[in-house]
Structure 1
Amino acid sequence: MNDRHRFWQRALRLLALGVPRGASPALLGNDQSLQHESWLRSLQKEKDRFIDWHDRLTDIPFVIIDMETTGFSPQQGDEILAMAAAKTVNGLVTGTYMTLVKPEKPIPEHISDLTGIEAKDVVFAPPLAEALRTFVPFISAGVLVGYHIGHDLSFLRHVLWRHYRQKWSWRFVDMQPIVSLVRHPCPTLDDALACYGIDCPRRHTADGDVEAMVKLWAILLGELRELGIETLHDLYAALSRH
């Protein structure tokens, strides 16, 4: 079998998995591309998952996520240093995920001061493209939750498109407007944690922040229930009016 024939075999397999025709040649042009197929297949299947709008919040799997990054703009070259997530149902954790990520550029000193992540910590960490192949299937298990989750989603969307030409389209909810809905405005996660008396001894670490947000999310579910907000539809409707 010649190289051209192998190329088109791989291309057709990837297209069958839903990879766009403009996908990176790196996925099509070498034997390592075959290792991506099972991950891409699971990603495509999870994309077709359906959570009914009228499912009760206590029955829906919510995945709480957090990322530590070198800045606020992936388009300007800022990178992910750590990713963490916790699967929850009715506020109870059913699974956790955590990984450091080896960046392509040196970590700025002020980021190391903030997160505690230094160059020596990421020497043996997986590169981002490799970490995504385990992180994305894990978080695809439900509705994403985070505090100011737009920051995390901007990086997730950017890197998925950059590395795999995949678009992120899962449902998500932001805890910040929910806190404002049930209690009073808390512009930052620190404000919300202080308001609810939740300790976060490992603040600005991905898994430490996720652990604190798990506690916050469990409390918020109870407060939403007290307000008569019981389904995903109820929640989105209440947030749209707030």
Structure 2
Amino acid sequence: MKDMKPAGRMWHLYKMGGITPAITSMFNAQSAQQMAFIRSIMKEQRKNSLYDIPLDTVELVVFDLETTGFSPYNGDEIISFGAVSVNGDSIMEEQTFYSLVNPKRVIPEEIVHLTGITNEMVGDAPDLLYGLRNFLEFVQQKVLVAHGSGHDKHFLNSALWKTSKINLSHRILDTMMVTKWLNPKLKSYDLDSMLDLYGVEVTTRHHALEDALMTAKLWSKLLIEIHSREIHNLGDLYTHLSYQQ
């Protein structure tokens, strides 16, 4: 950003993203730029209508988060982002994103054991604002896909509100809901069970990028069954999944 007097800089940032980054810019101009970018991504996403896009060509980002616990509204934080781009059923394994995040709190021992992410590993990692900004730069306006998306959506919404006072506006497809629709009589729909059912090789569980890659492979197999039900665009799929609510 070119050199401006404080009032001029604040007005410029207000036009970019709103009053929250503008106020913050008086204290930290670099953080305000990250907030403005996040808000602009959400604003552009609300303009998009993707329902008529064929499932064969829809651009997706399959993602996963690792966190310090299960409650973002009671102090738990994101400790890593993992994501991979998918076009239709084609997994773009050369287009991946992975980042640790410094949660600014101690990672519980059971989470260290589960994820392999230690307090030392996140010590020099980006903080939440920068990690979230980089993740959204990778995602852009693509549809998000996750398995059991409720957990991830809560943490993303909490992070967006905490950093930028905005809510998630991306559409999300949940592979757990898809498997419930396709296989309504199963006893369990957790990721391990679905990877086993659909013959997806398990690499490293509870690593955000590896879980995202395995979920992407699960999605590509689910898409074959979705097409067999004569569902060929995103809108029709959402309509059928809405019956599972």
TM-score past 0.5 threshold: yes
Which residue number corresponds to residue 69 of structure 1?
A: 67
Contact 1:51-1:60 within 8 A present in 2 as well = no
Is there any run of 5+ residues in structure 2 with no aligned partner, and where?
none
Compute the TM-score of the two structures, normalised by the length of structure 1: 0.89
> 5 Å matches for 1:40-189?
40=38, 43=41, 46-48=44-46, 50-94=48-92, 95-184=95-184, 185=186, 186-189=188-191
**What is the alpha-carbon root mean square deviation over aligned residues?**
2.2
Distance 1:127 1:30 in 2: 14
With over 3 angstroms needed to count, the CA separation of the structure-2 counterparts of 1:40 and 1:216, relative to structure 1, is closer
Between 212-221 and 184-193, report the one with greater CA deviation: 184-193
> 5 Å matches for 1:183-202?
183-184=183-184, 185=186, 186-202=188-204
Contact 2:41-2:141 within 8 A present in 1 as well = no
Q: Aligned to 2:180, what secondary structure does the other structure show? A: helix
Which residue number corresponds to residue 213 of structure 1?
A: 215
Contact 1:60-1:90 within 8 A present in 2 as well = yes
Deviations along 1:95-122, one digit per CA (max 9) or x if unpaired, are 2100111120111100001111112222
- Please point out which of 3, 21, 24 is paired with 1:26: 24
Instruction: Report the Cα offset of residue 90 of structure 1.
Output: 1.5
With over 3 angstroms needed to count, the CA separation of the structure-2 counterparts of 1:161 and 1:152, relative to structure 1, is same
With over 3 angstroms needed to count, the CA separation of the structure-2 counterparts of 1:22 and 1:35, relative to structure 1, is closer
Distance 2:232 2:239 in 1: 11
Instruction: Report the Cα offset of residue 14 of structure 1.
Output: 2.4
Compute the TM-score of the two structures, normalised by the length of structure 2: 0.88
With over 3 angstroms needed to count, the CA separation of the structure-2 counterparts of 1:151 and 1:85, relative to structure 1, is same
Distance 1:99 1:150 in 2: 21
Deviations along 1:201-232, one digit per CA (max 9) or x if unpaired, are 20011011011101101001111001101111
Identity of aligned residues (%): 34
Is there any run of 5+ residues in structure 1 with no aligned partner, and where?
none
Question: How many residues align structurally?
Answer: 237
